Amino acid sequence: MRFSATDSADCSVLVTEVGTRDGFQVEPEFIPTASKADVLNALIDAGVRSFEATSFVSPRAIPQLADASQLMDMLTRRPGVRLSALVPNARGAERAAAAKVDMMICFVSASESHCQANLNKPIERALADFEEFSPIAEQYGIPVRGAIAVAFGCPFEGEVPVDSLLRIAGAYHERGVRHITLGDTTGMATPPVVERAVEALRSRFPDLQIALHFHNTRGVGLANVVVGLQLGIREFESSIAGLGGCPFAPGASGNICTEDLVYLLHESGYQTGIDLDKLCEVARGVETLLGRKLPGQVMKSGGRLRRFSLDGARRAVG
């Protein structure tokens, strides 16, 4: 199977930026709301059109995201830009609706252990909460996306059976949800595991639109993207400069990096509508904001055909 998009008419890929939610949520020092808004607005200026901007979880659970409503008020609203937010329950849904999010994201873990660690409730209770808040989304005309955490492996239980994914996807599907994200919460995905999960979901629910969310914990995040592209997936979630990780899962390092993902897509003939140079500027700004080096590679090296002056370059001697 060829990887390049040049022999396919379907070469447009949607990149959903999750850095200000999945990335910032693990930062120990509170990031000013205005700084978060500056990052998001700069990403919009760079051409990013889809965001998981924040989360309407309890401020006690994740203090870094206690400013969700204020943040949404400070963002640039433009036609074609989707500003989504995570919503754990009916109370969060009411707050998200008041903040005028464009999409609500429900999240349920594929393993009981991670669901308890991440949401402090079993899977059945998490699905019941979804049943409670989905009518609120319907009332306000806000679409819902269903996310499945630890979809490719659980740090507490190991392998996640495909039947667990089908069970949760089925509950979403019953409520009319047609957008699903499979989350690689601790970077346990590998190409065969991704292929097995995607093909199982498509076989049972052929009308689902599937997005993939990878972490680069074990260095194969972009390899998994390649497999997703070959399977026809056209939406991937990533984090500016490679920020991120789940605070409730051991070993959950950063997400795949947005600039690196966009570079891979562009070099392979796919279109994102994103200006890579501007994206790298934002990534370097996030490094400055956080005061440390971040994992992104392309923001440091530039594109493949970046040129340097020979003047002053080191020369071999002897």
Q: Which residues are catalytic?
A: 246
User: What single-letter DSSP state applies at residue 182?
Assistant: E
- As given in the structure block, the two tokens for residue 293 are 């080096």
Segments in the chain forming alpha helices (H) = 33-45, 68-73, 90-98, 112-119, 123-139, 162-174, 191-204, 221-230, 258-267, 276-290, 298-301
CA dist 166 and 14 (Å) reads 24
Helix (H), strand (E) at residue 212: strand 209-213
Nearest to 123 by CA among 165, 186, 174: 165
From residue 143, give the alpha-carbon distance in Å to each of 24, 169, 175, 255. 25, 16, 11, 25
Instruction: Name residue 239's beta-bridge partners.
Output: 257
Strands (E), 56-178: 82-86, 103-109, 144-149
